[in-house]
Structure 1
Amino acid sequence: MIVEFTDEMYRWEARSDADWYFVAMPEGLSVDVAELQGPSRRGFGAVRVHATVGASSWRTSIFPGGDGRYVLPLKRAVRDAENLREGAPVTVVLEIASV
């Protein structure tokens, strides 16, 4: 399954001592991913993906966020390479690994 979406990058506010940034999938796509995964989910509900933002591609996982949408962590190397800034829109292409 390959999906593309755009949302704003945000900083995780739960820990003030960490710089974790994410972009959230739309609710409908998140429901589709959850249904695709079924009951056999990995730790923390993680789903393996191949992510692409601009010219940067990497393997990682998406995780269920507090609002029910899956979130993609954006590591510093990607943020720097793609000049991503908090609050700015980020377009993401995800290839969702099948179970």
Structure 2
Amino acid sequence: MAPILIPGKGANACSVSSAAWRAAGLPCRLDGSYPVAMDLEFSGEMWFWRGPAPWHFITVPDEECRDLETTTAAVSYGWGMIPVTARIRETRWKTSLFPKDGRYIVPVKAGVRKAEELDVGDVVTVRLTVEL
């Protein structure tokens, strides 16, 4: 699914975060405004990483990763991390996407897994909002 760009309000379509978008040299809309958010939706399989700090993740598909790459200069706070609001079914949480092997992965907290009765191997729809 292509990103949905939400316009700013009134004459001040560029919010403070949109100023970062502009400073990064990213394109504006035809009306000269800059987006304030990017919404993505995709489905993916939950997997478990057994490293020194074990965690559950869902990998963002390639197409959505390309869309996310357009935001990194404006929103990343380092190491390629992208702060997002994530949602699976009825549960919403704030997290950051991790870059891994040329893609991004969504960390899924225990509280989310419990609330939505998720386990390794489940394929779920994920909604992400990147504030720009």
Q: What TM-score bracket applies, with the shorter chain setting the length?
A: 0.7 to 0.9
TM-score, normalised by the number of residues in structure 1: 0.87
Runs of 5+ unmatched residues, structure 2: 1-37
- For the aligned residue pairs, the C-alpha RMSD in angstroms reads 1.6
The superposition leaves residues 45-77 of structure 1 with CA deviations (integer Å, 9 ceiling, x where unpaired) of 1111011111100111111112x1111000000
Letter in 2 for 1:79: R
The secondary structure found in structure 2 opposite 1:43 is coil
Highest relative contact order (Cα 8 Å, sep 6+), 1 or 2? 1
Pick from 5, 12, 24 the counterpart of residue 59 of structure 2: 24
TM-score, normalised by the number of residues in structure 2: 0.66
Runs of 5+ unmatched residues, structure 1: none
The number of residue pairs the alignment matches comes to 95
Aligned to 2:110: 76
Aligned to 2:18: none
Q: What is the percent sequence identity of the aligned residues? A: 37
Structure (1 or 2) with the larger CA radius of gyration: 2
